[in-house]
Amino acid sequence: MKKLSFHPCGNFREDYAQELTIFETWFGRVALAVFILLLMTAAPFFLKSYLLYILNNIGIMAIAAIGLNILIGYTGLISLGHGAFFGVGAYAGAILATRLGLPFYVCIPAAGIITALVGMVFGIPSGRLKGLYLTIATLAGQFIIEYVLIQWDWLTKGTMGITLPSPELFGLKIAGDKAFFFVIFISLIAMTWFAVNIMRSKYGRAFIAIRDNDRAAEGMGIPIFKYKLLAFAVSSFYAGFAGALWAYYMVSITTEPFNLGLSVEFIAMVIIGGMGNIPGAIFGATFITVLNEVLRFATGVLMNVSFVTNMGLNMAPLREFVFGLAIVLFILIEPKGLAELWRIVRSNFRLWPFSY
C-alpha cells in the first residue's frame, strides 16, 4: 500500500516487488510527473532560443551518458571510445538519410543498431581482457574509428562533412529548437525508462554481478563474455541513437568533434553524475554541458577585460583547466557524484530537524 508520503525512515521492505520498485513512494512519482509536465509545457514556449539550444544539447548528451553509465557504472567496463561510438551513430544516421533517403524515424534507431554492432566488435577484446587492459583496448578503438571516419572518403566524405536533410515526422517538418526539443526530450524519457527497466531485469542483475565480482558471477552460471558483449551493444546503441539525433540537430557534421576529448567528457558526465545511477547520468550531462557554456561565456568576457588583454594572456585554455579541476575535485571529494549529493539534500529535508 503506497501512501502519498515522503521516504520511510528505514528499510521496511517485505517482498521482492518492493525491492524492485523504482519509486518508493507516490510522492516521487507525482513530483516527477509534474516536473516533466512543466518541462514539456513551459520550457519550449518561455525560454529563449539559446537556452533551448543548451537544453537540447543536454538531452542528447544525457542519452549517450546513460548508455555509458550502463557500461561503466553497472557492468564495470571502462570504455574510452564512447565519443567515437557517438560519431559512428552520427555518421550512420547521416549516411542512411542522404544515401538511402530513409525517413527520420527509421534512421535514428537504425543508426543505433549499426553502432551497437560496431560496439560489439570493439567489445570482443573484453572476452580476454579486463580492467586497465580493456580500457587501453577501447582507447585504441577510439583512434581506429576516428581514422576510419576520416579516411573512408567515399562513404563519409572525409573532412568535407555531410549535410543532412531536415527531418519529417508524421508529415510535420521538424526544424528549429522548439520542434527538436520535443523529439529529444521524448526520446530521453523513453530511453531513461528503458534503461531503468533493463537494470531491474535479469540482464541488469547479471551486469551488476559481473561488476561486483566477475569470478563469482561466472561461478553462478552467468556467461560473462555474452553479457559483456551485450553491455557493449546496449551502451553503443545509446551512443548511436544520441549521435544520430545530434547529427540531425546540427544539420551538418564533420569528423572533428568525435575525438578522445568527447569520450573523456562522457566519462566525466558519468563520474560527476554518479556511477551506477541512471538519473545521475542526466545530472552529469547537465553539469558538464552547463559548465562548458559558462566557461565559454566567462572566457569570452575575460578576453574583453582590458587588464587581461594588456597582459597578452589568452584565456581560452582556462576552460580546459577548470574542466580538469572539476573532475579531480569530484573524484577526491564526492566520488559518488551529484546523485549522492541530491540524495543527501533530500534526506536532510525529510529528516529535519533531526540528523537521522
Partner 1 sequence: MDFFLQLLVNGVCIGLLYGISAMGFVMIFKASSVLNFAHGELLALGAFFFLSLVTWGKLPVAAAFVLTLAGCFLLGFIIEKFFLRPLIGEKLIFVIMLTVGLAAMFKGLILLIWGGNLHTYPEFLPEWLELQLGGIYIAPVYSATMIISVVFLLLFGLFFKKSSQGIFMRSVADNQQAALSLGVHVRRVFALSWAIAAMVACMSGIVLGIINGVNVHDLSAIGLKVFPVVILGGLDSIGGAIIGGIIIGLLETFTGGYLSPSLRDVVPYIVLVVILMVKPYGLFGLVEIERV
Q: In the complex, which residues of this chain contact partner 1 (CB under 8 A)?
A: 72, 78, 124-125, 128-133, 135-137, 139-141, 143-144, 147, 151, 214-215, 218, 224, 260, 264, 267-268, 271, 275, 313-328, 331-332, 335
Contact 16, 200 (CB under 8 A): no
Minimum gap (Å) between residue 79 Cβ and partner 1: 10
The angle at the Cα of 229, spanning 223 to 235, to the nearest 5 degrees, equals 130
DSSP string spanning 196-259? HHHTTSHHHHHHHHHHH-HHHHHHTT--HHHHHHHHHHHHHHHHHHHHHHHHHHHSEE-STTSS
Q: Which is nearer to partner 1, 56 or 69 (CB)?
A: 69
> End-to-end alpha-carbon separation of the chain, Å?
24
Q: Are strands 172-173 and 252-253 parallel, antiparallel or unpaired?
A: unpaired
Contact 85, 240 (CB under 8 A): yes
Q: Which is nearer to partner 1, 78 or 242 (CB)?
A: 78
Minimum gap (Å) between residue 88 Cβ and partner 1: 16
24: which DSSP letter? S
Rounded to whole angstroms, the Cα distance separating 204 from 74 reads 8
Q: Which is nearer to partner 1, 214 or 293 (CB)?
A: 214
Contact 272, 330 (CB under 8 A): yes
Q: Which is nearer to partner 1, 54 or 315 (CB)?
A: 315
Minimum gap (Å) between residue 129 Cβ and partner 1: 6
Q: Which three cell numbers stand for residue 4?
A: 502519498
Minimum gap (Å) between residue 323 Cβ and partner 1: 5
On the question of a cis peptide bond just before residue 353, with omega within 30 degrees of 0, the verdict is: yes
Minimum gap (Å) between residue 217 Cβ and partner 1: 8
Q: Count Cβ atoms below 10 Å from residue 10 Cβ, excluding itself.
A: 7
Q: Which is nearer to partner 1, 5 or 151 (CB)?
A: 151
Q: Which is nearer to partner 1, 129 or 198 (CB)?
A: 129
285: which DSSP letter? H
Minimum gap (Å) between residue 150 Cβ and partner 1: 8
Minimum gap (Å) between residue 243 Cβ and partner 1: 21
Q: Which is nearer to partner 1, 17 or 132 (CB)?
A: 132
